[in-house]
């Protein structure tokens, strides 16, 4: 690169001494001054006299006409140095786009997502069968329509491979994207565990529309037997919805009851009583050990071996062992992560001042929020902070309405700050109805309501909020 080079003023051909011009008999290494005068430019035929050094050439042009700054580009802009780039098209990602647009009509916003960006209500994934809705029926708006409505640049079907916080850019499978401010709405994934058996890779984890669609395709061929691993919120809701679709269900959980981390035993027992008549077979203290292909055909028919040694024939296995925040990108980028990506409740800012995190991937004061209501408030906090305003995310108790049609259930588990400072108290019970409060220092800071008692949730939630606000 540093060998002397001369350029033809007429056509721009470059004579490089190290390469020579072998076609004209100039060996590599021939110095320019040693070139015979009758030699001519191999491209346009002018003589040696029409050559000048590259430095002279650059001095003539660059200094006079070269713009100092990068001139504007023709290409449509994905991201940009002044743009807000949102990663993720779930409820968290789109809500930030909405709130940001509401506060600032002019701001350049790009949303990048691995899927097609379509808008759908995620809670519906565990009730759609019973409602007679297919995967496509759940789509409220296409990603491109939503983007056009909000004036957002959508870069769909693009996964973010890396974040370079120091240079404020993302690496994607379609090339680099610059950002001014970055919002991580990366969601969570169903926990993976390695199971034994040749069919272990066939186990489904349902946490978005794409995986949900796959599940529904697998169930299309008529009534099936489905094994659900995990009897938490997703597990019990799926169990009942699958049953509503005419499928037989076996529900496994290593714990001794349904909704182990959310509901006290008397309430969980009532749910079990409601599920049993539907033929939902709950096996407490048991999980899957191995999954083998059972039948002659390799697309359906499995033999599941359980941890207690029992075996069962099943057509589909769904794993719902709990959500794990997607933190890998943030971790690799050097952001502070714990179970989720650390975010400050004041503005949902991560440990990097130009990066925000919210929704299932975020962790605020040691808590993850996998529910819609707090995500919407987190989105408000992010949008406000980006616009230089303030709308801090307040911690409120988590109210959960369990989507089990056979038994109304409203739960508000105690916050972790009081979980070890109190106990559940049974306040009333009558057949399916049950009302329990979690008392800390004598005051209710959580509840679990079933059946007719579930209707009391509104009033009780206010009480719990008041008590929690007073205690903090």
Partner 1 sequence: MSAVTQTMNTTPSAAPEGELLFNAIRDIVRDKLAPLTVKIDQGYYPAEVLRALGEAGAFRQHLASQNGRGEYDLQAALKAMDIVSQQCMSTGFMMWAQDVVCWYIEMSNNEHLKQTLLPKLASGEALGGTALSNPMKYLAGIEPLLVSAVETEEGFILNGTLPWVSNLGPDHWFGSIFKVGGDNPRDVMALVNTSWPGMELKQLAKFCGMEGTGTYALFLKDVFVPKNHVLGDPLIPYLKKMKAGFILLQTGMATGVIESCIQLCEEVEPKLGHVNCYLDDRPDELRVELDDAREAIAGLCETPFNPDPDYIRTVLEARLLGGELVLKAANSAMLHTGANGYLFDAPAQRKLREAYFVAIVTPATKHLRKEIDAMAAA
Binding positions for partner 1, rule: CB under 8 A: 1, 7, 12-14, 43, 54-55, 57-58, 61-62, 65-67, 70-71, 73-75, 114-115, 157, 159, 161-162, 164, 167, 169, 171-176, 192, 201, 204-205, 210-211, 213-214, 328
Between 58 and 346, name the residue whose CB sits nearer to partner 1.
58
Q: Are strands 5-8 and 51-53 parallel, antiparallel or unpaired?
A: antiparallel
List C-alpha distances in Å: 234 to 228, 251, 262.
10, 11, 12
* Number of other CB atoms surrounding residue 230 within 10 Å: 24
CB of 123 to partner 1, least distance (A): 20
Minimum distance from residue 69 beta carbon to partner 1 (Å): 9
Question: Toward partner 1, which CB reaches closer, 329 or 436?
Answer: 329
Task: Give me the least distance between CB of 281 and partner 1, in Å please.
Answer: 26
Question: What is the Cα Rg of the chain in Å?
Answer: 31
Q: How far is the CB of 167 from partner 1 (least distance, A)?
A: 8
Which residues are CB-contacts of 20 (< 8 A; sequence separation ≥ 6)?
26, 27, 28, 29, 30
* Tally of CB atoms within 10 A around 31: 11
Tell me the HSE value of 357 on the side-chain side, using a 13 A CA sphere.
29
Q: Is 291 helix (H, G, I), strand (E, B) or coil?
A: strand
Kindly state the tokens that stand for 69: 């700054």
Integer Cα distance of 453 and 461 in angstroms = 13
Host H or E run for residue 465: helix 457-471
> Torsion angle, CA of 312/317/318/321, rounded to 10 degrees?
50
Give the C-alpha separation, 348 to 380, whole Å: 10
Cβ distance 288 to 193 under 8 Å?
no
Cβ proximity to partner 1, 74 vs 459, nearer residue? 74
Pairwise CA distance, residues 169 & 161, whole Å: 11
Query: By C-beta, is 23 or 37 nearer to partner 1?
Result: 23
Enter the tokens of residue 332. 């690799």
In the complex, the smallest distance separating the C-beta of residue 192 from partner 1, rounded to whole angstroms, is 8
Min dist CB 353 to partner 1, Å, is 22
CA-based nearest residue to 342, from 350, 334, 333: 350
CA–CA distances in Å: residue 457 to residues 143, 304, 406, 449: 36, 40, 18, 7
To partner 1, the closest distance from the beta carbon of 330 in angstroms equals 14
Q: Which is nearer to partner 1, 108 or 156 (CB)?
A: 156
Beta partners for residue 364, in sequence order: 367
Q: Whose Cβ is closer to partner 1: residue 190's or residue 350's? A: 190
Nearer to partner 1, 171 or 469 (CB): 171
Structure tokens that stand for 71 in this block? 């001139």
Supply the minimum distance, in Å, between the C-beta of residue 400 and partner 1.
Answer: 27
* CB of residue 139 to partner 1, shortest distance in Å: 15
**199 or 385, CB closer to partner 1?**
199
Shortest distance in whole angstroms from residue 58 CB to partner 1: 4
Closer Cβ to partner 1, 11 or 431, answer by number: 11
CB closer to partner 1 out of 198 and 389: 198
Q: Which is nearer to partner 1, 199 or 440 (CB)?
A: 199
Distance CA 249, CA 243 (A): 7
Beta carbon of residue 75, minimum distance to partner 1 (angstroms, whole number): 5
Place of tokens 């794990």: 324
Number of H helices, E strands in the chain: 9, 27
Shorter beta-carbon distance to partner 1: residue 45 or 246: 45
Helices 91-103 and 372-386, axial angle in degrees (round to 10): 40
Whole-angstrom distance, CA of residue 96 vs CA of residue 176: 22
Q: Are 355 and 335 contacting, i.e. CB atoms less than 8 angstroms apart?
A: yes
CB of 71 to partner 1, least distance (A): 5
Overall residue count recorded for the chain in this entry: 472
Would you give the DSSP letter of residue 220? T
């Amino acid at each position: 690169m540093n060998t002397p080079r001369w350029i033809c003023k007429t056509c721009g051909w470059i004579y490089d001494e190290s390469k020579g011009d072998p076609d004209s008999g100039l060996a590599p290494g021939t110095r320019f001054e040693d070139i015979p005068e009758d030699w001519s430019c191999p491209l346009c035929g002018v003589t040696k006299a029409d050559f000048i050094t590259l430095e002279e050439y650059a001095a003539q042009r660059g200094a006079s006409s070269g713009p100092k700054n990068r001139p504007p580009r023709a290409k449509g802009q994905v991201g940009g140095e002044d743009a807000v780039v949102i990663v993720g098209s779930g409820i968290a990602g789109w809500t930030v786009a909405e709130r940001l647009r509401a506060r600032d009509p002019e701001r350049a916003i790009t949303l990048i997502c691995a899927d097609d960006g379509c808008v759908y209500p995620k809670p519906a994934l565990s009730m759609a069968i019973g409602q007679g809705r297919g995967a496509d029926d759940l789509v409220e708006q296409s990603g491109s329509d939503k983007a056009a409505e909000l004036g957002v640049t959508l870069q769909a079907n693009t996964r973010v491979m890396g974040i370079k916080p120091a240079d404020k850019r993302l690496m994607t499978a379609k090339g680099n994207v610059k950002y001014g401010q970055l919002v991580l709405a990366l969601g969570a994934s169903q926990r993976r565990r390695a199971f034994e058996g040749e069919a272990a890779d066939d186990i489904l984890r349902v946490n978005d529309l794409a995986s949900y669609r796959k599940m529904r395709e697998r169930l299309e061929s008529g009534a099936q037997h489905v094994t659900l691993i995990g009897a938490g919120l997703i597990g019990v809701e799926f169990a009942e919805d699958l049953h509503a679709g005419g499928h037989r269900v076996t529900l496994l959980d290593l714990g001794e009851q349904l909704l182990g981390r959310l509901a006290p035993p008397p309430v969980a027992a009532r749910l079990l009583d409601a599920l049993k008549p539907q033929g939902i077979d709950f096996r407490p203290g048991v999980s899957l050990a191995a999954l083998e292909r059972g039948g002659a055909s390799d697309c359906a028919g499995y033999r599941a071996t359980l941890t207690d040694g029992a075996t069962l024939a099943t057509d589909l296995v769904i794993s719902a062992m709990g959500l794990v925040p997607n933190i890998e990108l943030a971790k690799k980028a050097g952001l502070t992560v714990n179970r989720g990506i650390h975010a400050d409740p004041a503005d949902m800012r991560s440990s990097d001042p130009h990066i925000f995190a919210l929704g299932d991937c975020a962790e605020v004061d040691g808590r993850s929020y996998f529910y819609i209501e707090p995500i919407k408030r987190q989105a408000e906090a992010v949008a406000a902070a980006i616009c230089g305003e303030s709308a801090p995310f307040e911690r409120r108790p988590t109210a959960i309405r369990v989507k089990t049609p056979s038994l109304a259930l409203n739960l508000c588990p105690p916050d972790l700050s009081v979980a070890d400072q109190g106990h559940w108290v049974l306040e009333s019970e009558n057949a399916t109805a049950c009302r329990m409060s979690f008392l800390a220092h004598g005051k209710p800071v959580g509840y679990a309501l079933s059946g007719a008692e579930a209707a009391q949730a509104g009033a009780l939630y206010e009480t719990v909020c008041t008590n929690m606000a007073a205690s903090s």
